[in-house]
Structure 1
């Protein structure tokens, strides 16, 4: 059987589809599995015995990919966009499984109820029920070998033990205030390694650690840095899920979002604000009240207490 798995969302979303990959490979060992995602999947999903189809969501590319995927018998899509529904429909794949909250959900042959109360890993696994699969592998998994870990330790002269701080997000309203991050950095006992993308280098200069790697790592190096750490502390963003997929506990500091959406750490813990306006939305762009109170609601001492509890 040829099965297509489609997830063209962000890094963290793809990490949380790895339980789908693992469960399909375990239950259908003879299946040929193809994964369509953004170009970063080539590095992120290294080590999986599957075919990877990078897709940049270009207009012409959307027509071209139909030809590349039409030979599959089954398509499974955790992604809920209109583009995804249309491409899968026009591919002619006979069995197409998606969520009932997907845009143009009527284009799927099988619709699974989307349940916010489930963790995203569990929610995605529900998409396998129309295939008769009910024995699930829940844990996300990414592959980083010891050689990769040693290379980043040498390249960045990392300490033997350290905590990774990931203060930035694609959605600014998901970020805890920089003042709080600096307070946390100052008071945590272990050395701190700060990570982030190139567009946040200027803001990251406020951190005092000698291991400020913001803008300095590629994706494989970031995974190796996270995988060699003792703990990851992050806003509601992909490093949380990368950490768990590499066997590292993580703490999520929620601001405008919430654990209710199902993206909390499976290993570690989380802290969230309790405000009349919380939570805002899964991917908020504008503060509904204009107060930005959620960015200050969780206090650094709360994060420190949780970090020490997990580390001990």
Structure 2
């Protein structure tokens, strides 16, 4: 017999370790739970890097797991939470590592993804599953956990914490002139294949500078591949049009940069969802992943979508013939994105979100 779901949970556990974009998409679910049960404690077991992004999130107690510590790190968390029994554990990570970690957590009921959405046999580690849904966005999949518990107010709210020191860091890099943020690289994992071209980015930077008076700030991690790409982009750009901050910011600093930017351009990677969370106009570049599932949620209409063409070209199928969430793992797929299409989308995004000023009126 399945355990019943709590009607008035006093302590809710969330298990979601990674990644940066996904934890941003999960925050509205946290806010929905807080509105429904404002007195409930919420403990979020989260990855180390992801915690550095979300640290200070109001009303949330974080327990940080460093994936590099492996089983020893899990045991440390089990000891830390040995005397804690949660009313409900929301197991929101579809990975065997997270499921193993969940075994050492005490909870009256464990909720996971429905069988169609669960990966790595996650349904073996949970007692209740969210309601099946056809082709949901990642954000909606997370919100389904709150809906299963009885939450009806699913308005989207983030309210991320950005300290003053992060804004100081951002302004020291970007200066006073208006700018866009471009995060050209995604996570440098094996066979990720989400990065667009150096020449494409350089052309967009030139257009933003000459037609909109916007310089570009490049952001990203400190890996050799990211630094190399940033240097190559910068080398093709005219002086004053770009600031190369790749590898030179904290995650909170990137948040501050994005918060004060006119727009964000990025492939399927964390800063695209950071822009979405902060309400900054965001242009996502998609070919290897389906933007209907993974684009910045509030800016899906402005995503450049070469995914259907990539599926036809490299999988010899239509989008309707592949599984939801199917990736196109081909090194040339992102080359299907045309520079003129990105520029056209950027123009439309900037026009759609153009600040309006209302001058004083003279009344007789």
TM-score past 0.5 threshold: yes
**Which residue of the other structure, out of 75, 82, 86, is the alignment partner of 1:63?**
75
Report the counterpart of residue 349 of structure 2 in structure 1: 310
Q: How does 1:226-241 map to 2 (within 5 A)?
A: 226-241=258-273
- 1:134 equivalent to 2:152? Answer yes
Distance 1:202 1:67, change over 3 A: same
SS at 1:163 equivalent: strand
Report the counterpart of residue 36 of structure 2 in structure 1: 27
Deviation (angstroms), 1:148: 4.4
**C-alpha contact (below 8 Å) 1:149/1:228 kept by paired residues:** no
SS at 2:298 equivalent: coil
Distance 1:116 1:182, change over 3 A: farther
Report the counterpart of residue 202 of structure 1 in structure 2: 228
Deviation (angstroms), 1:114: 5.5
**C-alpha contact (below 8 Å) 2:293/2:325 kept by paired residues:** yes
**C-alpha contact (below 8 Å) 2:180/2:215 kept by paired residues:** yes
Question: Deviations for 1:20-75, whole angstroms, at most 9, x for unmatched residues?
Answer: 11011111001011111111344322242211111013211112322334422211
Aligned counterparts of 1:285 and 1:59: Cα–Cα separation in 2: 32
Report the counterpart of residue 120 of structure 1 in structure 2: 138
Aligned counterparts of 2:165 and 2:261: Cα–Cα separation in 1: 13
Q: How does 1:131-280 map to 2 (within 5 A)?
A: 131-144=149-162, 147-148=164-165, 150-170=167-187, 171=189, 172-188=192-208, 189=212, 190-199=214-223, 200-206=226-232, 207=234, 208=237, 209-267=241-299, 269-273=302-306, 274-275=308-309, 276=312, 277=314
Q: How does 1:67-82 map to 2 (within 5 A)?
A: 67-69=79-81, 70-82=84-96
Gaps of 5+ in 1: none
Stretch moving more, 17-26 or 88-97? 88-97
Aligned counterparts of 2:258 and 2:96: Cα–Cα separation in 1: 34
Question: Deviations for 1:261-298, whole angstroms, at most 9, x for unmatched residues?
Answer: 344441362011132036798585942xxxx4422212
Aligned counterparts of 2:219 and 2:185: Cα–Cα separation in 1: 8
Aligned counterparts of 2:344 and 2:157: Cα–Cα separation in 1: 26
Distance 1:266 1:85, change over 3 A: same
Distance 1:21 1:104, change over 3 A: closer
Gaps of 5+ in 2: 1-9, 352-364
Aligned counterparts of 1:51 and 1:234: Cα–Cα separation in 2: 30
Report the counterpart of residue 49 of structure 1 in structure 2: 59
SS at 1:30 equivalent: coil
Q: Tell me the TM-score normalized by structure 2.
A: 0.78
Distance 1:213 1:112, change over 3 A: same
The RMSD of aligned alpha carbons is: 2.3
**C-alpha contact (below 8 Å) 2:177/2:215 kept by paired residues:** no
Distance 1:157 1:310, change over 3 A: closer
Report the counterpart of residue 333 of structure 2 in structure 1: 294
Report the counterpart of residue 359 of structure 2 in structure 1: none
Structure with bigger gyration radius: 2
SS at 1:164 equivalent: strand
Deviation (angstroms), 1:98: 0.7
Q: Tell me the TM-score normalized by structure 1.
A: 0.90
**C-alpha contact (below 8 Å) 1:252/1:265 kept by paired residues:** no
Report the counterpart of residue 106 of structure 1 in structure 2: 124
